[in-house]
């Protein structure tokens, strides 16, 4: 009799654990950060100048949080660079938001160049990613922002071109038709 109860408890715990995982990874929390909070965020460029994300207002933004010590972050960088080159004339900008300090980021990018702007933010960048829905502190973490500054979609973990294009292409078409 006790073994039936143990099995029932294990089954219930397994079901609850599965439901939690599905909720967290398949249906991540929606982000309702006001556009002014998002666009007013300021970080350092690789030459040490502070810049606000507002610099890229009226563009579709792929904001990619990463770190130099993170293998999946480094793996997705060439593909993000390719997307920047492919869609920059369609009003898209990829922004690499490093969670490392300025010098570490600068040294890394010098030996691993990308075609998109890179900002350094250290712990401020991690805190910013949390305010944009990164409740797990996962890297890489990618946020797609429309031209009005509204967060459209977030991605936990490594992204690739086909995955991003599912979200980006409708946004870029909407922009083309509204111009």
pLDDT digits (tens, 9 = 90+) for 50-90: 999 999 999 999 999 999 999 999 999 999 999 999 999 99
Bigger pLDDT: 70 vs 38? 70
**Given this model, what pLDDT does residue 21 score?**
47
**Given this model, what pLDDT does residue 13 score?**
56
DSSP run (H or E) holding 89:
none
**Given this model, what pLDDT does residue 25 score?**
46
**Given this model, what pLDDT does residue 28 score?**
47
- Per the CB < 8 A criterion, the answer to whether 158 and 72 are in contact is yes
Distances (CA, A) of 15 to 7, 10, 19, 83, 126: 12, 9, 6, 39, 32
Of 123, 114, 130, 144, whose CA–CA distance to 67 is shortest?
123
**Given this model, what pLDDT does residue 39 score?**
80
Q: Give the model's confidence band at 36: pLDDT under 50 very low, under 70 low, under 90 confident, else very high.
A: low
**Given this model, what pLDDT does residue 112 score?**
97
**Given this model, what pLDDT does residue 34 score?**
55
- Per the CB < 8 A criterion, the answer to whether 79 and 45 are in contact is no
Length of the chain equals 179
Pairing of strands 92-98, 60-66: parallel
Averaged pLDDT, 39-58: 93
Dig out the tokens for 108 from the structure.
């890394």
Bigger pLDDT: 173 vs 4? 173
- Cis, peptide link before residue 140, omega less than 30° from 0: yes
Helices 71-87, 161-178: inter-axial angle, 10-degree rounding: 30
pLDDT digits (tens, 9 = 90+) for 121-157: 999 999 999 999 999 999 999 999 999 899 999 999 9
Rounded Cα distance, 155 and 28, in Å: 8
pTM of the model: 0.80
Of 61, 64, 79, 36, whose CA–CA distance to 121 is shortest?
64
**CA–centroid distance for 71 within its chain:** 15
Question: Measured on CA atoms in the order 65, 74, 55, 171, is the torsion positive or negative?
Answer: negative
* pLDDT at 177 > cutoff 70: no
Rounded Cα distance, 95 and 84, in Å: 9
pLDDT digits (tens, 9 = 90+) for 102-128: 999 999 999 999 999 999 999 999 999
């Amino acid at each position: 009799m006790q073994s039936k109860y143990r099995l029932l408890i294990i089954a219930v715990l397994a079901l609850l654990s599965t439901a939690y995982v599905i909720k967290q990874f398949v249906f991540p929390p929606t982000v309702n950060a006001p556009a002014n909070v998002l666009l007013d965020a300021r970080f350092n460029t690789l030459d040490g100048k502070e810049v606000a994300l507002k610099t890229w207002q009226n563009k579709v933004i792929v904001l990619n949080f990463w770190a130099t010590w993170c293998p999946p972050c480094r793996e997705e960088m060439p593909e993000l660079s390719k997307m920047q080159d492919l869609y920059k004339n369609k009003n898209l900008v990829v922004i690499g938001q490093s969670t490392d300090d300025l010098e570490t980021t600068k040294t890394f990018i010098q030996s691993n160049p990308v075609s998109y702007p890179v900002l350094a933010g250290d712990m401020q960048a991690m805190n910013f990613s949390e305010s944009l829905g990164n409740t797990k502190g996962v890297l890489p973490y990618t946020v797609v922002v429309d031209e009005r500054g509204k967060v459209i979609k977030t991605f936990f973990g490594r992204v690739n071109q086909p995955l991003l294009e599912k979200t980006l292409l409708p946004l870029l078409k909407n922009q083309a038709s509204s111009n």
